Structure 1
Amino acid sequence: MELVYDYPLYRPPSEANSMIFQVTLGCSFNKCSFCNMYRTKEYSERPWDEIKAEIDTMSKFYPDTSRIFLADGDALNMPNDRLVQILRYLYEKFANIERISCYAMPKNLLQKTDAELKELRDAGLHMFYVGIESGNDIVLKKVTKGATGKSIVQACSKARKHGYVLSCMVILGLGGKKYSKAHTKDTARVLSEIAPDYVGALTLQLEDGVHDEFMSKYGEPFEFIDDAEVLDELEGLVKEFNPQTPVVFRANHASNVYSVGGTMPKDKEKILSLVQNLKSHPEMLKPKSLRRF
């Protein structure tokens, strides 16, 4: 028995074995010029009766479900009372839940009051996946992220204060050649301030559906960085990322030139050594034909 989804459907790689419930469709912001995920959908919140019926059905077929991901890209945009209702019902129907997670934009987190975030945490929402993309304000504005480095830190710190697990994504190459160093430096600074539980570094690739929009919104000529410069950014990011608590760092997305990972700051030198070796042996990099965003 499988759910009937409204495609396209996305979830983080670490939610591969989770049960997914689409409580919202699309993205309420949907303006990030690098993202093609929900451009074919208009944002909407699904009716409670539909969500409840799906939970009822799946709990009968998969009663031992332990992890649940709430899709689409914007579950946290729902009114708190509805989201709490969903969370409580999930725990009522699934006895072995270990984790419930969802995507969260910085604006979602800032729009929720402290009391609302606490209420959701108390109701059993555990983890947020937050797209940081960059810590540099110029780059964030050019890609219409709808956030600044400061607001991203504020949003993530707010979530951390209430005990949420945070997994944050950044995008290598998002500043192009011109802003590469500033993008790397400011992204490392923002990540260091937040010290999320997990960091995932992707590499920019533009799908056909947003390529022209990205170039237009950027406001000036954009030059993609090459593989050697991707490694430079990765090296700079790791060098300048100095969290005060352990952070699992991964650059193993399908878009990356090579799979790199470890726990920061413990494995910093090991990661840097690997990157240096890759610079000397570009033949080890993943063929471009196998990379996708």
Structure 2
Amino acid sequence: MHFTGTVYRNPYWPTWPLLEITQGCTHNKCKFCTMYKDVPFKMSPMEWIEEDLKELAESDPNARTIQILSANPLVLTYDKLAEVFEMIHRYLPKMEYIYVAGRVSDLKNKTVDELKKLKELGMREISLGVESGDGWTLDRINKGYHAEDILEQCHKLEEAGIDYWMTFLNGVAGRSHSHEHAVNSAKIFSQCKPMLVGTAGLTLFPGTPLLEEAQRGEFDPLSEKEMLEELKTFAENLTCDCCFITHHTVSGRNLSGPDFLKHKDQIISALEREIKHGDLDAMAAIRRSKRTL
């Protein structure tokens, strides 16, 4: 298999098989991320992709799911993605679900009709690294798109019938803009229909512009308690009925299942308990031990 660097995959999706069709990230400018810092973006040669599919056809000919790598393969044009997906079906004829991650901006080069055709080819679920719905925060962390872009592109997915995930990056706005980040993100997310909202807590990794700004006093990171308080504010203001997952922030994961609104009060109560009684020092130690997203 042609895995050209560190493999980052969604741990909640089936972990095998994996197929790398791109390398690196087209944007590669988010201030909190170094995942693909030294990896130029390019599409894998079709010869490599076909060789990998031949290998998968021998090792797992009955595969029904596949996760596409790397950072944002969704940025490829409809024609390129369709060509890859059709090849997947040739070598893995029982394929049903093709999982793809991407950026909100990756959807701009695709029409609703093209998205519908990609769904017919198996792309039924995608994960979007949204991070925030607050305009100030999106600009501050250099995401490369705006809140209205989130709404426009997510509504295209809804019209195409494709399920999607949205991520909220807890703490990324810093202390001075924490409340606005939580409330405005919840407002934007609530105008969408994600199947899942996942929250991750900011870790300031070496080599990230955000850490360098914090060291210069230009970014004011939240404490563990403040992270929990921000997450609670986000949950209180979130009104879309989805699966809700918290991780990287609390000592345990709060899983609501497919109906967040039904379990909303329980999740908020759990966060309140963490704020009052959680082992914040242990949480901070876990965060300090992390080396990458």
TM-score, normalised to structure 2, is 0.91
Alignment of 1:259 with 2:253, yes or no, is yes
Partner residue, 1:248: 243
Q: 1:24·1:44 contact (CA, 8 Å) conserved in 2? A: yes
Deviations 1:61-83 (A, max 9, x none): 11122221111112112222221
2:284 is matched with which residue: 259, 264, 288?
288
Give a deviation string over 1:201-228, Cα, whole Å, max 9, x none: 0000121121x466459x9821111111
- Following the alignment from structure 1 to structure 2, what is the Cα–Cα distance between the partners of residues 280 and 220? 28
How much does 1:183 deviate?
0.2
Q: Which residue of 264, 267, 274 corresponds with 1:271? A: 267
Shift of 1:37: 1.1
Tell me, in whole angstroms, the C-alpha distance in 2 between the residues paired with 1:126 and 1:60. Answer: 25
Who is 1:111 aligned against?
109
- Equivalent of 2:124, from 123, 126, 143? 126
Q: CA deviation at 1:95?
A: 3.3
> Unpaired segments of 5 or more residues in structure 2?
none
1:224 aligns with 2:218: no
Deviation per CA, 1:238-269, whole angstroms, max 9, x where unpaired? 111011xx3000002x4545422213101001
Q: Which amino acid aligns with 1:226?
A: S
Letter in 2 for 1:156: C
Q: Could you list the runs of 5+ residues in structure 1 that have no partner in the other structure?
A: none
Tell me the distance in 1 between the aligned counterparts of 2:282 and 2:198: 18
Call closer, same or farther: CA 1:232–1:155 in 2, change over 3 Å: same
CA contact (8 A) 1:189 1:241 kept: yes
User: Greater shift after overlay, 63-72 or 19-28?
Assistant: 63-72
Q: Contact 1:22–1:70 (CA<8 Å) still a contact in 2?
A: yes
Equivalents in 2 of 1:214, 1:122: separation in Å?
43
Give the residue type in structure 2 aligned to 1:279: I
Deviation at 1:200, TM superposition (A): 0.6
Aligned equivalents of 2:271, 2:87: Cα separation in 1: 47
1:267 is paired with a residue whose SS is helix
Which amino acid counterpart does residue 262 of structure 2 have in structure 1?
Answer: K
- Letter in structure 1 aligned against 2:278: P
1:152–1:10 CA distance, 2 compared to 1 (3 A): same
- The separation in 1 between residues aligned to 2:9 and 2:110, in whole angstroms, is 22
**Cα distance, 1:279 vs. partner?**
1.8
Q: How many residues align?
A: 287
Report the Cα offset of residue 16 of structure 1. 5.0
1:170 aligns with 2:168: yes
Q: Which residue pairs with 1:149 in the alignment?
A: 147
Runs of 4+ in 1 over 3 A off after TM superposition: 212-217, 254-258, 284-287
**Is 1:68 matched up with 2:66?**
yes
Choose 176-185 or 186-195, whichever is displaced more. 186-195
Q: Which amino acid aligns with 1:153?
A: L
CA contact (8 A) 1:74 1:103 kept: yes
The amino acid of 2:187's aligned partner reads R
Structure 1 Cα separation of the partners of residues 28 and 152 of structure 2 = 21
Q: Percent identity?
A: 23
SS at match of 1:199: strand
Cα separation, 1, equivalents of 2:80 and 2:278: 51
Q: Is the 8 A contact 1:258 1:285 kept in 2?
A: no
For 2:211 and 2:116, the matched residues in 1 are separated by: 37
User: AA paired with 2:242?
Assistant: V
Deviates more, 1:267-276 or 1:255-264: 255-264
